[in-house]
Each structure stands twice: as C-alpha cells, then as structure tokens.
Amino acid sequence: MHHTPLIATIVAGLVVAFIFGAIAHRLRVPPIAGYLLAGVMVGPFTPGFVADAGLAAELAEIGVILLMFGVGLHFSLRDLLSVWTIAVPGAIVQIAAATVMGAALGHLLGWPLFGGIVFGLALSVASTVVLLRALQSRDLVDTERGRIAVGWLIVEDLVMVLALVLLPAIATALDSGGSGGGIGAVATSLGITLLKVGGFVALMLVVGPRIIPALLHWVAHTGSRELFRLAVLAIALGVAFGAALIFGVSLALGAFFAGMILGETPLSRRAAEETLPLRDAFAVLFFVSVGMLFNPSVVVEQPLALLATVAIIVIGKSLAAFAIVRLFRHPTGTALTIAVSLAQIGEFSFILAALGGELGVLPQDGRDLILAGALISIFLNSFLFSAVAALKARGHVAEGTAAAEAEAAKDGLILVGYGRVGRFVAQSLAERGIRPRLIEAEDDRARRGEGDGLEAIVGNAVEERVLAAAGIASARRLVIAIPEGFEAGAIAEHARALNPSVEIIARAHSEAQAAHLAARGVAHVISGEREIARRMSDLAT
C-alpha cells in the first residue's frame, strides 16, 4: 500500500479511541480518560504503531472549530455582553495569577524570567475542547454559569492571540537589549494586532449578519439537505480559516463569530444538528492528539516539578477563578463550576510552548511539563466536575429533605425539569390547584420554580438520592420533562427501583427514545412529532 499518513492517523486515532473509550465506559470512568490513553498508545513514546502527531493536532483543530461554531449558535451578542463585566476581569486576574505562579516555578527551576513568564502564560489558558465538552455533556452551555465560562474562554482566547503576536516581538526586543527600537516594535505589533482583531469583529458584526443568514436561507429553500449541510460546514470552516488567515485571530474565535451570527436565524437549530456527528468525531481526535504528546519519562525525571505544574493548573487557577467569581457576588455553585471548567490546559498551551521553544526562551523541560500537565489536568477534570456535581446535590438535598418528605403525601406528584416543557406542565397543574415537587439540575431554574410557588430540589434526577429526597417512595406519578430521552430512561429506571408502582410520563424526541422509554416502564411517552401529527390529522378530518 502506498504511504497514507493522514488516513492512518484518522483511522488509528478513531479506532484506538473507540476501543479505549469503550473500556472506559465499562469501567465507569470518563471516556476522555480512554481517549487520552489511546493517544499515548499511538504516540511516539510507546512501542508499536506511531501516528503523525502533527496531523493529529491539525485534525483536532477541526474539532475546535466545530465546537466553537456550535457554541456560537447558542450565543447572542447580548449574552456575550451580559457576561462581559465578569469575564474580562475574571480572565485577566486568572491569567495574571497563573503567570506569576508559573514564573515563580520557573525561577525555582533556574529558568530565565522570560521563559518562566511564557511557561506561566501557557498554564493560564484553558482548553476550548475540554471546557465545551464538559459543559455540553452536562447541559450547562445555556445556563448563566455556562455563559460566564464561555465568555471567560473567549477573553482568554483574545489574550492568547495577542500573546502569540507579541512574544516574538518581545523576544527580539530583549535580544537587542531593550533598546527604544525594540520597544517600538512591540508597540507596533500590539497596535496592528488590535486593529486586525477590531477589524474582524466589526466586519463580522456589520457585514456578516447581512450575508451569512441570507446565504443559508437561500440554500434551505433549494430543499437540498446535502447542500444545506455543505453550506453549514463551508460557513463554519471558511469563516474560521479566513479569519485566521486574513485577520490573524484564532480559528476558534472565527468559528465562534460565524456561529453567533447564524444563531440569530431560525435555521440555527438545524445548522447545529448538521455539524454534530463531525464535531464529536473530531473532538475525540483532540484528546488522542493530547495523549500522543505525552512523554511518560517526565513523570520519573521531574516528579516534583510536574506536581507543582499540575497544582498550579488545578488548584492555583481554580482558587483565583473562584475568588473572583465570588467577589462579583455570584453564588458558590456558579463559582465552583467556573473554577472547575477552567482548571485544565490544552491546545493554546501547546502552541505557546512550541513558540517558546522556537524563540529559544522556554527550556525543553518546560515544554515537557506543559504537555504532561495538560494530560493530567484534562484527565482530572472530568472527575472534578463529577465531584462538584455530587457536592452540590448533597448540599441541596440536605436542605430539602425534611421539608420535601413532609410534603410527600400531599399530591404524590414529582416533576423533573423546569425548562421549556416543565414550566408549562407546572402552569397547567397550578390552574388545577396541583403543585408538584420539582427536581431541577440548575440552581437558577430551580429558584424560578420556587418563585412560582413550587418546592424545588436542586440535583440530577438520575441520582437515586435526589429522587428519594423528592419523596419518590410515596409518589403516585412522575413527570420527566427533560429533552434527553435516554437520560429520562435512566431516571425512570431508578425511580421504578425505588417505587415500582409509580406512573411515569416522559418526553421523547425520536422513535428510538420512545422505544427506550417504553422498555423502562414509562407508562406514557409523549413525542412532539406524534402530538403534532395527531392535532394535524384531527384538523384535517
């Protein structure tokens, strides 16, 4: 067979990631751990097949583009501006804190000051992929804390764009002994970069909304699914790449703006669906590419330095983020989620590390520490997220238990989810004088439920503890008003384990979900399409 490194890398990446992901699933550890390990297996530091790390990293960039595009679809300019006041100071304080800690560690290790600063900067930026995957898998992107985390990420992204341009200029200035010419060059690069970023944002906000939605509408009207799918990919990838090429902004930022502009149109939901499968596949390749860069010998050769690096990423950065979010008077739960979201590093850190190496300021040790720190912090991240969720559920359940159980005998009705559907369910029930007990995963939504006179328990209804606290044992009916049919299936299963006679009503978005729910003993499966069809056929006869 002829030489096909690209195909070999994609195939090896996906196949090995699948195998390790499946094993991780069986062992009940986060799949990301499996993907990272898959990367180590196909990487250059373990025997056997070696995939092309450069190609893997490039493929991972496609994942970054599609992820940011998807997030942009959910975001409006208003959302972005509403979190700006906390995201800008938050990101800047956190970057400063991490940079100081990194530089201090570098100093202890005997590196030059500038090298330590580059090292600290690399530890300060969180990975887009890790953060978005964590938020998406927990349905947090559309919540206030999700928006703050994404806004924060965008500020970090902008700072990195500046850093990548300024570092070479500063390195040259330092080489020339800090002469006036060197400083002038730094100021010029800064000015040009700011102009370019400003130009890009202005272009996207002024011209983008006139062209991009119109183009997509036109394609939608051709009726060709294939063309629509192509149009979405062409817009996401084209704008990202064009932005990077012409304006020097990051691919992620370009994709985010492309998504944000499309998000204002009614076609955004369809656009999001079209990119989902590709997005997930390429995001997996991101984790594989991180694993490939990991050189296990660092663990043996510099255990203490590595421990300190991981501590800066996971503890130091989190404390800084937590403190600033609390300072802005957001609730502890929000502060915890944001701190944990950002307690990892990834793609930008690798780019900075590589640049630091090229400029001859960051020693090889520093680069190895960054790569190993990334792998370990990403690995720890999913566990940290689960720990925070558990902590929250426990805290709130403890508050809710006594009251909820006292109420338990009242109506015997529990409602899960206070979103688009749950709210209407509660409203109709209230008109009939029935007040269900509410289980809602999101603080702010649960609070809204309480404002509407419901007793709310904050927590994930998949957990038996949460169901028990809501009084499932004595409930007659359980209404699961969450959009994810398979997750609803898991809730139904646990609910029936605790109370076999409870009558369950749930939502489904596909026939597969409906069958899944029915198989788990859900008495009434309500699907949007069927209800619409029923009403339409009623009207047609």
Please report, as ranges, the residues that interact with ligand AMP according to CB under 6 A.
Answer: 139, 416-422, 439-442, 445, 460-462, 482-483, 487
Which residue, 17 or 421, has its beta carbon nearer to ligand AMP? 421
The distance of closest approach from Cβ of residue 513 to ligand AMP in the complex, given in angstroms and rounded to an integer, is 14
The distance of closest approach from Cβ of residue 536 to ligand AMP in the complex, given in angstroms and rounded to an integer, is 22
The distance of closest approach from Cβ of residue 451 to ligand AMP in the complex, given in angstroms and rounded to an integer, is 14
The token pair that represents 164 in the structure block: 């990548």
Q: Is 459 helix (H, G, I), strand (E, B) or coil?
A: coil
Which residue, 72 or 417, has its beta carbon nearer to ligand AMP? 417
The distance of closest approach from Cβ of residue 523 to ligand AMP in the complex, given in angstroms and rounded to an integer, is 19
Which residue, 221 or 420, has its beta carbon nearer to ligand AMP? 420
The distance of closest approach from Cβ of residue 437 to ligand AMP in the complex, given in angstroms and rounded to an integer, is 12
The distance of closest approach from Cβ of residue 286 to ligand AMP in the complex, given in angstroms and rounded to an integer, is 26
**Nearest-CA neighbor of 268 among 400, 95, 71?**
71
The distance of closest approach from Cβ of residue 480 to ligand AMP in the complex, given in angstroms and rounded to an integer, is 8
Which residue, 52 or 440, has its beta carbon nearer to ligand AMP? 440
The distance of closest approach from Cβ of residue 390 to ligand AMP in the complex, given in angstroms and rounded to an integer, is 14
The distance of closest approach from Cβ of residue 98 to ligand AMP in the complex, given in angstroms and rounded to an integer, is 31
DSSP character at residue 4 = -
d(CA 33, CA 133): 13
C-beta atoms surrounding 172 within 10 Å:
15
The distance of closest approach from Cβ of residue 268 to ligand AMP in the complex, given in angstroms and rounded to an integer, is 15
Q: Residue number with the shortest CB distance to ligand AMP?
A: 419
d(CA 62, CA 285): 9
Q: What does the angle CA 84 – CA 85 – CA 91 come to, to the nearest 5 degrees?
A: 75
d(CA 284, CA 67): 11
Print burial letters for 287-298: b (CB count within 10 Å at least 16), e (below 16): bbbbbbbbbeeb
Which residue, 141 or 311, has its beta carbon nearer to ligand AMP? 141
d(CA 113, CA 103): 7
The token pair that represents 62 in the structure block: 């496609």
d(CA 9, CA 17): 12
Which residue, 243 or 416, has its beta carbon nearer to ligand AMP? 416
**Nearest-CA neighbor of 341 among 1, 509, 45, 94?**
94
Which residue, 416 or 468, has its beta carbon nearer to ligand AMP? 416
**Nearest-CA neighbor of 521 among 497, 540, 538?**
497
The distance of closest approach from Cβ of residue 428 to ligand AMP in the complex, given in angstroms and rounded to an integer, is 15
Q: Is 267 helix (H, G, I), strand (E, B) or coil?
A: coil
The distance of closest approach from Cβ of residue 446 to ligand AMP in the complex, given in angstroms and rounded to an integer, is 8
d(CA 364, CA 355): 12
The distance of closest approach from Cβ of residue 258 to ligand AMP in the complex, given in angstroms and rounded to an integer, is 25
What is the chain's length?
A: 541
Q: Is 521 helix (H, G, I), strand (E, B) or coil?
A: coil
The token pair that represents 493 in the structure block: 């299963």
- 204-209's contacts with Cβ under 8 Å and 24+ in sequence apart are 204/239, 204/257, 204/258, 204/260, 204/261, 205/77, 208/239, 208/257, 208/258, 208/261, 209/261, 209/264
Which residue, 232 or 466, has its beta carbon nearer to ligand AMP? 466
Report the chain's C-alpha Rg in angstroms.
25
d(CA 104, CA 173): 23
Which residue, 186 or 468, has its beta carbon nearer to ligand AMP? 468
Which residue, 98 or 413, has its beta carbon nearer to ligand AMP? 413
Q: Where are the alpha helices (DSSP H) in 243-302?
A: 251-263, 268-293, 297-301
d(CA 419, CA 422): 5
Which residue, 17 or 71, has its beta carbon nearer to ligand AMP? 71
Helix or strand holding residue 310 (H, E): helix 303-311
Q: Is 2 helix (H, G, I), strand (E, B) or coil?
A: coil
Q: Tell me if 525 sits within 8 A of 518, measured CB to CB.
A: yes
What is the distance of C-alpha 111 from the center of its chain?
A: 34
